[in-house]
A and B are shown apart, each in its own frame.
Chain A
């Protein structure tokens, strides 16, 4: 088998991007899966996409537009849910549709070919730039650092926000922190990983880890591991089978999820023997 491809810097960068993106996205995924807000990945990635398009349209740096839009939407999700008396997922769904609409409008207004901008949806992990890697590294470190630093507050908010508030934890602040972290992760992952791929890298590794453990700490660690392995396996498959790398990463993360579900100890059902039944009183 020919491994010479790994000697090229573009492949080394892709491996590093898969590692950093895998850790950041999968860690965020633990919040998303446990808080039941799976739509947030697509919502914020489309917000970032719309922001990048608007920025290009008016002559600004697309990364800045993506960042401002995803942060803006992350900041609106909570108040919209509270004011509209909606659950978080509905609020996210409403904003997602708005962002999708805006993205199409901005794209319609854009002159010339749109291939480059559409690339943001699919990502291009094999052409990842040095700036992308630095930003991914900063965000991945921030995500892991914040989870370690605020682990107890995050655990309480994930378990039950009302109880967290009732014991005196600033649950609203922690929730916004989680949403902003998600927004930042998605913004910096948009170019190397792609708006659509992010969704699977957020959900699948965390959902797989959720199948395997009753410990939150272990779930964070397993999710990060599965995120990285999905990225690397996808890259390998993409090279060997000559298929698009983003799609291969999605399939790899889905296969890991399927295996975890198949062997999940949480699905075990205790066997029952007729002898176990106590004798009837009547």
Chain B
């Protein structure tokens, strides 16, 4: 049985004079947890946007959840993919509360003219409970801390009842504790919901615990890939980032440090 959920074939994406992705080919299997790392401008976010059809493909072919990405199919595909971006700058006075933001995840599924019913409200309540945000459901979204807003974003993506999770640096600009808690939550959700997850991050320390495979990107290409223990090595990472990186062991776990 074919287990491939995403198949990218020789994809080229270009913005203005910059080629963001150069001849990228990648296959992702159902249930995989994929980490995507690389320096800024490596094409990590572009790779994610290619999968949910937000990015524009110049050449090549992309097949997601059994469908080729095209103008006609892209909306249907997006409804099946939960997307969480970096922490957004939300106006603290924005007149939308946490429950309403989470409900937005249901809107694509409902389609035009249909209003949310009890089932939709139950799904929202469950998602809020899962991310530990039920007690803040009536708060204006702009009043939440960064970590709380990202939990809400995950709850929103969960209400889509997605088959895939695309996470674009969801822990960026969060404090250390919020980063760890969010990562733990993502891991639990991935396992319990039987999702396929793509996780773009600069947090190398997060990778060994959660990822089945790590994709290394540089200058718009897939520069390397493999299991975390195969690719998360001093020489490979130092060459990837063009900066010396050291790895130390602490209580049996790898800790990645920027060497001075």
Chain A hits for B88, CB < 8 A? 160
- How far, in angstroms, from A216 to B116 measured CA to CA in the complex? 17
- A152-B115, A155-B104, A156-B107 known; A168 and B76 CB under 8 Å? yes
Chain A hits for B75, CB < 8 A? 168, 170
Chain A hits for B110, CB < 8 A? 152
Query: CB distance B108 to A214 under 8 Å?
Result: no
Chain A hits for B170, CB < 8 A? none
- How far, in angstroms, from A216 to B113 measured CA to CA in the complex? 19
- How far, in angstroms, from A34 to B142 measured CA to CA in the complex? 13
- How far, in angstroms, from A215 to B16 measured CA to CA in the complex? 40
Count residues of B near A (Cβ-Cβ below 8 Å).
33
Query: CB distance B105 to A159 under 8 Å?
Result: no
- Distance in angstroms from A198 CB to nearest chain B CB is 23
Query: CB distance B93 to A210 under 8 Å?
Result: yes
Q: Mark A94-128, 1 if CB is under 8 A from B, else 0.
A: 00000000000000000000000000000000000
Chain A hits for B93, CB < 8 A? 210, 214, 266
Query: CB distance A153 to B112 under 8 Å?
Result: yes
For B16, the closest partner residue in chain A by CB is A85
Chain A hits for B101, CB < 8 A? 159
The B interface is mostly helix, strand or loop, or mixed, namely: mixed
Query: CB distance B100 to A155 under 8 Å?
Result: yes
Select which of B108, B113, B115, B140 is within 8 A of A169 by beta carbon.
Answer: B108
The A interface is mostly helix, strand or loop, or mixed, namely: helix
Select which of A149, A165, A166, A210 is within 8 A of B95 by beta carbon.
Answer: A210
Query: CB distance A219 to B79 under 8 Å?
Result: no
Query: CB distance A219 to B112 under 8 Å?
Result: no
Q: Mark B75-88, 1 if CB is under 8 A from A, else 0.
A: 11011010101001
Please report which residues of chain A, range 151-193, place their CB below 8 angstroms from some CB of chain B when the two chains form the complex.
152-153, 155-156, 158-160, 162-170
For B49, the closest partner residue in chain A by CB is A166
A-B contact pairs, 10 of them (CB 8 A): A152-B103, A156-B104, A159-B96, A163-B83, A167-B79, A168-B109, A169-B108, A170-B112, A214-B95, A215-B97
- How far, in angstroms, from A153 to B112 measured CA to CA in the complex? 8
**Interface residue? B26 (CB, 8 A):** no
Query: CB distance A159 to B115 under 8 Å?
Result: no
**Interface residue? B201 (CB, 8 A):** no
Q: Hey, which bits of chain A sit against chain B, CB under 8 A? A: 34, 85, 149-150, 152-153, 155-156, 158-160, 162-170, 210, 213-216, 218-219, 266
- How far, in angstroms, from A240 to B101 measured CA to CA in the complex? 47
- How far, in angstroms, from A164 to B52 measured CA to CA in the complex? 13
- How far, in angstroms, from A85 to B18 measured CA to CA in the complex? 15
- Distance in angstroms from A264 CB to nearest chain B CB is 9
**Interface residue? B54 (CB, 8 A):** yes
**Interface residue? B94 (CB, 8 A):** yes
Please report which residues of chain B, range 55-86, place their CB below 8 angstroms from some CB of chain A when the two chains form the complex.
75-76, 78-79, 81, 83, 85
Query: CB distance B115 to A166 under 8 Å?
Result: no
Select which of B85, B108, B113 is within 8 A of A167 by beta carbon.
Answer: B108
- How far, in angstroms, from A218 to B95 measured CA to CA in the complex? 9
Select which of B96, B107, B112 is within 8 A of A216 by beta carbon.
Answer: B96
**Interface residue? B160 (CB, 8 A):** yes
Query: CB distance A162 to B97 under 8 Å?
Result: no
Interface core residue of A163, A168, A266 (most chain B CB under 10 Å): A168
Query: CB distance B104 to A167 under 8 Å?
Result: yes
- How far, in angstroms, from A266 to B110 measured CA to CA in the complex? 33
For A30, the closest partner residue in chain B by CB is B95
Query: CB distance B104 to A34 under 8 Å?
Result: no
Select which of A34, A153, A215, A266 is within 8 A of B107 by beta carbon.
Answer: A153
- Distance in angstroms from B76 CB to nearest chain A CB is 7
- Distance in angstroms from A24 CB to nearest chain B CB is 20
**Known pairs A166-B83, A168-B108. 9 more at Cβ < 8 A?**
A155-B104, A158-B96, A163-B83, A164-B104, A167-B105, A168-B107, A170-B75, A216-B95, A219-B95
**Interface residue? B156 (CB, 8 A):** yes
